[in-house]
Copies of this chain bind each other. A is one copy, B any other.
Amino acid sequence: MASPEIEALTQALARLPGLGPRSARRAVLHLLKKREAALGPLRAALEAVDERLETCATCGNVDTANPCAICADPRRDQRSLCVVEEVADLWALERSRLFPGRFHVLGGRLSALEGIRPEDLAIDALVTRIEAGGIDEVVLAMNATLEGQTTAHYLADRIERFPVRVTQLAHGLPVGGELDYLDEGTLAQALRARRPV
């Protein structure tokens, strides 16, 4: 019988996506065997993330500064706004270094199945940003999934009344694919060929 501390750590790890109870137990044993090399660094990394990272009040990115480095960067194109579902999608686009503007993270996608409604996402905040003016183009960079595309259409409807060009990533994305898993070449194609909705 392991101690309560070990049980608690096993359960906390088992709740991570990709780990179950058995692999969490293996991970805990690994951490206990390599306290210096594995447990220490993981603990320090978690502490740093927990203490230093905050969510950007403007765009929803996660960074050490608020507003985040992207929002605060004067060299970024202020007239161009890219809307993504998750922070991971923002990172994927940033890795490709192709989008010169700023971002808006919705925090998910509309989903009847999961009961995620417009008010559960940062959509009002997006409308407020566009309403404030100074934006020429809104790129809807949703995942090419049914729910992502539904979300894009809903957003296009909500944004229609503003004098901005609304575009979406070209269908170079494989159907069913998610941004985070795409190679940069495909991402580049999709961004370059973006079209009006």
Q: Which residues of A contact B (CB under 8 A)?
A: 1-3, 5-6, 8-9, 11-13, 15-19, 22-23, 25-33, 35, 38-50, 52-53, 62-64, 86-88, 91, 94-95, 107, 180-181
Q: How far is the CA of A46 from the CA of B47 in the complex (A)?
A: 10
Known contacts A3-B63, A16-B27; 10 further A-B pairs (Cβ under 8 A)? A1-B91, A5-B49, A6-B53, A8-B41, A9-B48, A16-B42, A22-B181, A31-B46, A39-B46, A43-B46
A contact face: mostly helix, strand, loop, or mixed: helix
Inter-chain CA distance A63–B32, complex, in Å, is 11
Instruction: Name the CB-closest residue of B to A95.
Output: B1
Nearest residue, chain B, Cβ from A63 = B3
Residues of B within 8 A of A50 (CB): 35, 39-40, 43
CA distance A5 to B27 in the complex (A): 21
Q: In the complex, what residues of B have CB within 8 A of residue A1's CB? A: 91, 94-95
